[in-house]
A and B are shown apart, each in its own frame.
Chain A
Amino acid sequence: MANYETHEHDVLVIGAGGAGLRAAIEASAKGLSVGLVCKSLLGKAHTVMAEGGVAAALGNVDSADGWETHFRDTMMGGKMLNNWRMAQLHAQEAPDRVRELEHWGAVFDRTKNGKILQRAFGGHTYKRLCHVGDRTGLEMIRTLQDQGVHQGIKVYMECAISKLLKDGDTIAGAFGYFRQDGRYVLFKAKAVVLATGGVGRSFPVTSNSWEYTGDGQGLAYEAGADLIDMEFVQFHPTGMVWPPGVRGILVTEAVRGEGGILRNNKGERFMWKYLPEDRRNEYAADEEEAKRWVDAAMKGEKTNDRRPPELSTRDNVARAIYTEVKEGRGSPHGGVFLDISYQDSERVKKKLPSMYHQFKELADVDITAGPMEVGPTMHYIMGGIRVDADTAGTRVPGLFAAGEVAGGMHGSNRLGGNSLSDLIVFGQRAGAGAAEFAKKIGGQPKINEADITAAIEELEAPFKRANGLNPYDVQTKLHEIMSKYVGIFREENDLKQGIAELEALQAEVDNAKAQGTKLFNPGWHLALNLKTMLICSQAIAKAALLRKESRGAHSRLDYPNTEADFGKFNYSSSLEGGKMALKESPLNEMPEDLKKLFAKKEPAHA
């Protein structure tokens, strides 16, 4: 029997990005003992990569903005498949959560009259994204980190959770290991918050870090929670395409928010062609109008001109770029051109400093002197663990989820900037929900010794597979399947083939081996991560097969239209009798006062 150490907390938060930190701060502020587990060092979570800004209807730049418009934009962006209550709470509470960050020391860029500055982003009617140049996520995570460390939260760094433990139906804790030395650890907790982020590592070209292996989705699924909307995978339109070593790294949407223009190899500004008919009148009619909008935006002046077509929603821009490349109008390295070099170079360096350095150092491209090459990269999953909007509780009592790991908020497509606000709004709610649950149940739940033994056996297994497979080879196979059959455009036969190959891959995942010792062993860690990566990949592919329509980020070549009938439910996946079962789960009816918001005509300009 292997040894393990034990820690006890009222609330255990797994994941220390924006959502996890905010949840931990909330539960701790309520006087509870909080443990915060992170797979990397503290402050390295994927939130640091978020660039463009945090969406909140403060109305500092466009005074007509308010939560109703933000709510409407979010629901329209998600093609009405969102959990309306989440979208409502998000739009209503984001301004307070942003101001709270400022009061905790975050230093957002300012307007001329000393308020938080806001910039334009795709799908947002008004200039709504509070930002710090193009490193908004870093500002947020550092602020939360510094606020958290003074609150007595116990942080367990480089610690990975492999199993959630239950007492009957109710959550009782979690089991895992420290990456540094492989020692095992048991956490006893009255409530657990999952805030582990996304699933990007299931795809070969992604903006996501190594940590995004779908841990939270997989852990919750195994513990009895259900996953919804997993077919909705967001391909960010602009990732780097060259050099190969940096393929997939994000090029922030702020480049387009600051006036960046997309062109194909014929020099055509192709986005005009791809605007959806029902929203075409919200965008500039021609080059002149788009230019007037950009000039006004640069000067911080109001205008009645409409926004450039590059500020269409992400799903739309990603498909447009994909189509241009596929039809032979792409750039030399398989992307398209994104150009901001027509603007004042000092301003570009000041507003987009990370982009300037990223291209200069990694691609030898000076973005103030010429265009960048960009193409779609897997960036985000809208789907995730189904939660209650108000408490962030899952269907497993005591288990909560917030941030990218949770589903529902973004529907079929997420607007840029809504992720950072999602983290703080629902991080706070999950922390409060978990704290309330923990207070109610009193003593620590019981942990079954047999569950611990099983968890240890699972962790040890990769070392016992003498004839096992190299986990990196298995991961490469997974990547090939996902990119070939479950990518940006999907169709029936591909999806069926993909699902069959994913099912066959299970045996290889179960036979991935580790060698050497448990001391900081990346091969071992990957062998363990493959399990949740495969669970998420299967949920994505199976839901994508069932959704016989195109909606938001989900594009079916064989069903190119959005169908009203598919707008009435989400697909949910759960573990039933040892197998993944998919069900239709009907959307809640939106109350009349919210429905009215969609009848009201908003001014088209921003």
Chain B
Amino acid sequence: MREATLSVFRGDKDTGEFKTYKVPIEEGMVVLDAIHYIQAHEDPELAVRWNCKAAKCGSCSAEVNGRPSLMCKTRMDHFADGEEIRVEPLHTFPVIKDLVTDVSWNYEVNKRIPGFTPAPDADWTFYQEDIERVQEFRKCIECFLCQDVCHVLRDHDRKDAFFGPRFLVRTAGLEMHPMDTLNRAEFIKDQEGIGFCNITKCCSEVCPEEIHITDNAIIPLKERVVDEFYDPVMMIWNKIFGKKKQLV
């Protein structure tokens, strides 16, 4: 029987090392299957998050041979025979144990985004063409791979100043919702720190839902901020004609 060699990070927040496991290969197997094999047959303590096993819940994020990936979607036959498959936790977040990281920061950041705010007298008629873009953003499964690969968060650890691609996508989903009435431009500039993003598009590259994070969410939000705060023509326009309701 063919065997794969997995090198899996084992450890906690203080210490850890890579441990090697041999796993028999079944046709169609994914990396998460190999991790489950190790749990059931060799090491019941090996910690991993997973739920749906169908790339819909975004729980099983890890770095496989250096690439941020969903383990349930990473097929073993993508690797050459005999190639060692290195599986390690996301680097941007602190390790709890083995492949499980502490992603609680994301949930705290999410709470700060001003929520959906429809007009009280809205009649709720809106059209498919008005929501195509928003629906793209709402495909996000919160796997946090975009947060993991974002160099503002990963290399510079500026979690104090930048919400990261996931939450710019969520904000874009609210801002571009045809029924939303709130203006979050100042929030996007000052709180979310959109200026930190310098459009390297790494986030878009790793998104398993193929959301065009940079092109469709972040750049339009940047343009909004520019229009609102830095464009002299728009500033005069807004003075004369008023602008969307500001946050209080």
Nearest-neighbor residue (CB-CB) of B210 within chain A: A357
Q: Contact: A150 with B115, CB < 8 Å?
A: yes
Which of A114, A244, A354, A526 contacts B56 (CB under 8 A)? Answer: A354
Chain A residue nearest to B174 in the complex (CB): A105
Q: For B97, list chain A residues within 8 Å (CB).
A: 519-520
A103 touches B54 (CB 8 A): no
> What string of 1s and 0s marks CB contacts (under 8 Å) between A252-273 and chain B?
0000000000000000000000
* B45 in the interface (beta carbon within 8 A): yes
- Is A30 part of the contact surface with B, judged by Cβ < 8 Å? no
B29, A516: Cβ atoms under 8 Å?
A: no
Interchain CB contact under 8 A, B128 and A107: no
A467 to chain B, nearest CB (A): 16
Q: How far is the CA of A150 from the CA of B115 in the complex (A)?
A: 7
Q: Does A531 contact B (CB under 8 A)?
A: no
Contacts of B98 on A, CB cut-off 8 Å? 520
- Contact (Cβ within 8 A) B55 A361: yes
Contact A362 B138 (CB under 8 A): no
A354 to B58, CA, bound (A): 14
Is there contact, CB below 8 Å, between A114 and B125? yes
Residue A563 interfacial (CB < 8 Å): no
> Which residues of chain B from 152 to 189 have a CB within 8 Å of any chain A CB?
174, 177, 180
Closest to A116 in B: B124
Contacts A150-B111, A209-B52 given; does A242 touch B28 at CB 8 Å:
yes
Mark interface residues in A562-587 (1 if CB within 8 Å of B CB, else 0).
Answer: 00000000000000000000000000
Cβ of A605 within 8 Å of any chain B Cβ, yes or no, is no
Tell whether A103 pairs with B96 under 8 Å between CB atoms, given A42-B107, A110-B131, A523-B44.
no
Contact residue among B59, B102, B126 (Cβ-Cβ distance under 8 Å from A44): B59
User: Known: A244-B27, A245-B26, A522-B45. Contact between A48 and B57, CB under 8 A?
Assistant: yes
Interface string of A494-536 (1 = CB under 8 A from B): 0000000000000000000011110111110010000000000
Q: Known contacts A49-B57, A249-B53: does B126 contact A104 (CB below 8 Å)?
A: no
Q: A43-B142, A146-B116, A520-B96 are in contact. Are A250 and B54 (CB under 8 A)?
A: yes
Q: Are A41 and B124 in contact (CB under 8 A)?
A: no
Taking residues whose C-beta sits less than 8 angstroms from the other chain, chain A's interface range is 35 or more
Among residues of A, the one whose C-beta sits closest to the C-beta of B59 is A44
A107 touching B54 by the CB < 8 A rule?
Answer: no
Interface check A69, CB cutoff 8 A: no
Within 8 A of A (CB), among B182-233: none
| Distance of B159 from chain A, by nearest CB (Å) | 18
Residues of B within 8 A of A104 (CB): 116
Q: How far is the CA of A143 from the CA of B97 in the complex (A)?
A: 31
Chain A positions 26 through 67: 1 when the CB is less than 8 Å from some CB of chain B, otherwise 0: 000000000000001111111011000000000000000000
Smallest distance from the beta carbon of A238 to chain B beta carbons, Å? 13
The yes or no answer to B47 lying at the interface (CB within 8 A) is yes
Are A103 and B124 in contact (CB-based, < 8 A)?
Answer: yes
Question: Which of chain B's residues have a CB closer than 8 A to the CB of A150?
Answer: 111, 115
Most buried by A among B46, B56, B134: B56
- A138 and B49 in contact, given A109-B128, A472-B39 (Cβ under 8 angstroms): no
Interface string of B107-126 (1 = CB under 8 A from A): 10011000110100000111
Q: Is the CB of A107 within 8 A of B142?
A: no
- Min CB distance A358 to B, Å, is 6
Residue of B nearest to A149 (CB): B111
Is B73 positioned at the interface, with any CB of A under 8 Å from its CB? yes
Q: A357–B47 contact, CB under 8 A?
A: no
Q: Residue B100 at the A interface, CB < 8 A? A: yes
| Any A CB within 8 A of the CB of B30 | yes
Most buried by A among B53, B55, B98, B127: B53
- Given the contacts A41-B103, A42-B107, A110 and B115 also touching, CB distance less than 8 Å: no
Interface string of B45-74 (1 = CB under 8 A from A): 111111111111111000000000000010
Residues of B within 8 A of A250 (CB): 54
User: CB-CB contacts of B11-51 with A at 8 A, as 1s and 0s?
Assistant: 01000000000000011111001000001110011111111
B51 nearest in chain A by CB position = A209
Q: Does A115 contact B (CB under 8 A)?
A: yes
The answer to whether A146 and B127 have CB atoms under 8 Å apart is no
Report A-chain residues with C-beta under 8 Å of the C-beta of B75: 361-362
Complex alpha-carbon distance, A472 and B28, angstroms: 22
Query: Closest CB-CB distance, B188 to chain A, in whole Å?
Result: 17
Tell me, yes or no, whether A92 is within 8 Å of chain B by CB: no
Is A135 an interface residue when CB atoms closer than 8 A count as contact?
yes
B238 within 8 A of A: no
B139 part of interface (Cβ distance < 8 Å): yes
When the two chains form their complex, are residues B125 and A115 in contact, meaning their CB atoms are under 8 A apart? yes
Q: How far is the CB of B130 from chain A (nearest CB, A)?
A: 8
CA distance A514 to B96 in the complex (A): 19
B53 contacts across to A, CB distance below 8 A:
209, 246, 249
With A40-B51, A105-B116 already in contact, the answer to whether A362 and B58 are too (CB < 8 A) is no
In the bound complex, residues from chain B placing their C-beta under 8 Å from that of A109 are 128, 135
A362 to B55, CA, bound (A): 10
A-B contact pairs, 15 of them (CB 8 A): A45-B51, A48-B57, A49-B56, A104-B116, A149-B111, A155-B107, A180-B96, A211-B51, A243-B28, A246-B30, A471-B44, A514-B44, A517-B45, A521-B45, A523-B45
8 more contacts with CB within 8 A, not counting A150-B115, A515-B45, A519-B47, are A46-B51, A104-B116, A109-B135, A209-B52, A361-B55, A471-B44, A521-B44, A522-B45
B interface list, Cβ under 8 A from A = 12, 26-30, 33, 39-41, 44-59, 73, 75, 96-98, 100, 102-104, 107, 110-111, 115-116, 118, 124-128, 131, 134-135, 138-139, 141-142, 174, 177, 180
When A and B form their complex, which 9 residue pairs have the shortest distance between CB atoms, in order from nearest?
A243-B28, A523-B44, A105-B116, A114-B125, A472-B40, A520-B47, A209-B51, A520-B97, A516-B45
